[in-house]
Amino acid sequence: PREGGRIAVAEAARNLTCSGARPLAVTDNLNFGNPYKPENFWQLREAVEGIAEGCRAFGTPVVGGNVSLYNESPAGVVDPTPTVAMVGLIDDEKHITTQWFKNEGDAIILVGGTRAVASEDGDDTEAVPSAAAHDRGYSLGASRFLKICFGKKIGPVPKLEIELELAVQNAVRDLIRLGLVRSAHDCSEGGLTVALAECCFNPDGLLGAEIGLGSCGGSRAGCAGDTPASTNAATLFNEAQSRVIVSCDPKNAERILSELKSKNIPHAQIGTIIADDLRITVSGENLNWPVVELHDVWSNAIRRAVESDSEPIRSL
């Protein structure tokens, strides 16, 4: 719960950063079970401590909030749910940035990152020790992938390194203010692959991406004991923190990489914007999805979750 509270704050700030804003303040909503039960009180206390740690790091005071307790039923208690809303300020409207890819041929760069990505030119700026091969920051633990595909809520949550998170967000805001970034989107629920798909859903016209990820996720640690399928799934869907996907004019790619390298920010140029399809090559496996089909699944997800064949929902 403490790590989850920290992550909730960091992700809210990351969303603001990707829009070109600097975080200012927080309001929260805490949903937990009966606090008179020791295990539930522990969850509540740890989540509050995690939120407090995150807010101190980002300099964002909690100016309001709400607490909902005793959320239980005969089936059990709700999962600990700290929800964070954060407000920020974009100092100049020309710095407003959206998440969608803009032009075919633009370069795609991952800022931040873990062993899940290695740069195409081999200039890997990450320092991942061999002991970190299965560290909780790089695994599928507590991921949406495990919940949706296998019905499991297991594994430790990703590890958030506050110093790296702050450095990544500061670097992304600097790149936006320099006018080098055309789009920016954070990696969160669903991991890198889901974030890339969301980047393709430009309302002015769907775009695709050609993505190349390094063998075994680019880890210096190796893949002993892993199967190709499990390794690729972890590369594609792990929810490691402190990652932002940016796109830019290819003429600006080298400058962006240079700026990130000078600040010792992990980074990798992972691909190019194309038309129609999301194509990902990982550890020699080629994956391809038509973006129009991905967009249909994404945009109609709520409709399909609640409607039935006998009672279809009318289009608005």
| pLDDT at residue 116, rounded to an integer | 37
The residues of the chain scoring below 70 in pLDDT are 114-138, 215-229, 308-316
Residue 35 has a pLDDT of 97
Given this model, what pLDDT does residue 251 score? 98
280 and 181 share a domain? yes
Which residues span the domain enclosing 37? 2-89
| Position 207, amino acid | L
Which residue, 20, 55, 89, sits at the end of a domain?
89
* Burial class for 262, CB neighbours closer than 10 Å (0-12, 13-18, 19+): exposed
**Residues in CB range of 184: below 8 A, 6 or more apart:** 17, 18, 19, 20, 97, 99, 172, 176, 244, 245, 246
77 and 111 fall within a common domain: no
Calculate the alpha carbon distances from 185 to 43, 146, 159, 197, 272 in Å.
Answer: 30, 23, 20, 11, 15
**34 and 107 part of one domain:** no
**Which pLDDT tens digit goes with each residue over 66-89?**
999 999 999 999 999 999 999 999
Q: Does residue 104 form part of some domain?
A: yes
Q: What are 214-236's pLDDT values in tens digits?
A: 743 333 223 334 555 678 999 99
How many domains would you assign to the chain?
2
Establish if 298 belongs to a structural domain.
yes
Same domain as 66, residue 114: no
**315 domain-assigned:** no
Confidence (pTM) = 0.88
Q: Is 31 helix (H, G, I), strand (E, B) or coil?
A: strand
Instruction: Give the CATH number, domain containing residue 26.
Output: 3.30.1330.10
